Structure 1
């Protein structure tokens, strides 16, 4: 078992096939910083191949209140410059920096494992996008999602726009983002943002049961199925059939090899 405690407000662990990311800044509702995003990206690149499930959660009553508000208000936090300071840099440099931020989220979409967000309380801005980066979301009745970036004159830029559209459709996604309104647990379940809503005292047990269920099928089958589903929206029907044929051929060959 690997356990990592960073001074950035993260707890990172790997226990056999299950890795866990815990946002651990409850005093500020698990507000995030770019340093946390870089640490998450590094964690994603160093996961051992046996990891099949990644669970993302927040310490305390909130999942994450989004980017540390001090960075939005023009303060420097732990050496991180204010967000608006990026506006003075050349566009190519800004693209590269934001790409580094995005890497802290995008690894959760990789097909080698299934990622689960355990969401309670606030999931705002970067917190909402972190939950959207995960494949599945288990939430408590007090969970509240909001895409705050447009209200601040910004756009969601941490990879949340595509999965939001895939989950709720274009017009609903636009309405949620453009108004920055709250989406509470019951509506999140109805829209497909949440897979299940459970009482707070059952959150950890439900995520554990779901993780166990995901570990039951052979790893290769889950990996190939996730890859097929992730790419389905970008392929024609004929291309999807071709992708299914290729995936099944690889599975049959691997299963046959395992018998030899």
Structure 2
């Protein structure tokens, strides 16, 4: 019997005070993703201590992530895992639950009590692109390039990446990127809002850590309130957003005055 891949062989995480650093650690395979990796990433989200404020996602090697291991779609599948095409035999509820379990690895990065930063170099393809999109902010090396290849393979992007992509670049550009599967360069990513900053490759880790330090410099409660304001802005009218700002500021003023609950 073939053994499953050890989740911890492909991902590790370390705590540095209020910063958590999550690293994809399979550079020989361009950090190709598997359900085992997704289980490990989801577990890290559950294990994260409550006083961690910022999470840095990075990858070893030349590429951030080449996306899903294509062996998942072969009859043999990934050792120790169910071949993906067998998922089609599940009933609706089981199939929905299976995909929902996969998505868990991609969703916790945007939870309200943390700010997440992805440091991207080389290729971020498909699931790799969606993992980077799962983070609040992306810092890119000059050689970073993104591609959403699922639709060209007869699938759809289903790992929670479609909403952040539309939020970042707009519906029309997101549609064009997904349907063509083309490469998006780091320069274009910065221009259209996918990347907050682009730096030479040798400076990527330092730039990402510098940003993390800046995020940690602001008071936590103010960061949480500001993130909530911005996250909800798209669903609110102008007047509703003004009201949300007033309510958030009232909480902050009372907290600073020692009058909070």
> 2:12, 2:152 → 1: CA distance?
30
The reply on whether 1:159 has 2:127 as its aligned counterpart is: no
RMSD value, Cα: 1.6
Q: What's the offset of the Cα at 1:142?
A: 1.1
Q: What is the match of residue 206 of structure 2?
A: 205
Q: What is the match of residue 114 of structure 2?
A: 113
Q: What's the offset of the Cα at 1:74?
A: 3.4
Q: What's the offset of the Cα at 1:240?
A: 1.7
> 1:237, 1:145 → 2: CA distance?
33
Q: What is the match of residue 137 of structure 1?
A: 138
**C-alpha distance 228-74 of structure 1, shift in aligned 2 (>3 A):** farther
Q: What's the offset of the Cα at 1:129?
A: 0.3
Q: What is the match of residue 3 of structure 2?
A: none
Q: Deviation digits for residues 132-163 of structure 1, max 9, x if unmatched?
A: 01111111111110001001111001111001
Q: What is the match of residue 76 of structure 1?
A: 77
Q: What is the match of residue 10 of structure 1?
A: 11
Q: What's the offset of the Cα at 1:82?
A: 1.6
What stretches of structure 2 of length at least 5 have no aligned partner?
A: 1-5
Q: What is the match of residue 57 of structure 1?
A: 58
Written as runs of structure 1 = structure 2, the 5 A alignment for 1:223-234 is 223-234=224-235
Q: What's the offset of the Cα at 1:8?
A: 4.0
Greater Cα shift, 40-49 or 5-14: 5-14
Written as runs of structure 1 = structure 2, the 5 A alignment for 1:177-256 is 177-256=178-257
**C-alpha distance 8-83 of structure 1, shift in aligned 2 (>3 A):** farther
CA contact under 8 A between 1:8 and 1:35: conserved in structure 2?
Answer: no
CA contact under 8 A between 2:132 and 2:138: conserved in structure 1?
Answer: yes
Say which SS state the counterpart of residue 218 (structure 2) adopts.
coil
The reply on whether 1:89 has 2:90 as its aligned counterpart is: yes
> 1:86, 1:196 → 2: CA distance?
39
CA contact under 8 A between 1:11 and 1:21: conserved in structure 2?
Answer: yes
The reply on whether 1:33 has 2:34 as its aligned counterpart is: yes
Q: What's the offset of the Cα at 1:187?
A: 0.9
**What is the aligned residue count?**
255
**C-alpha distance 42-7 of structure 1, shift in aligned 2 (>3 A):** closer
What stretches of structure 1 of length at least 5 have no aligned partner?
A: none
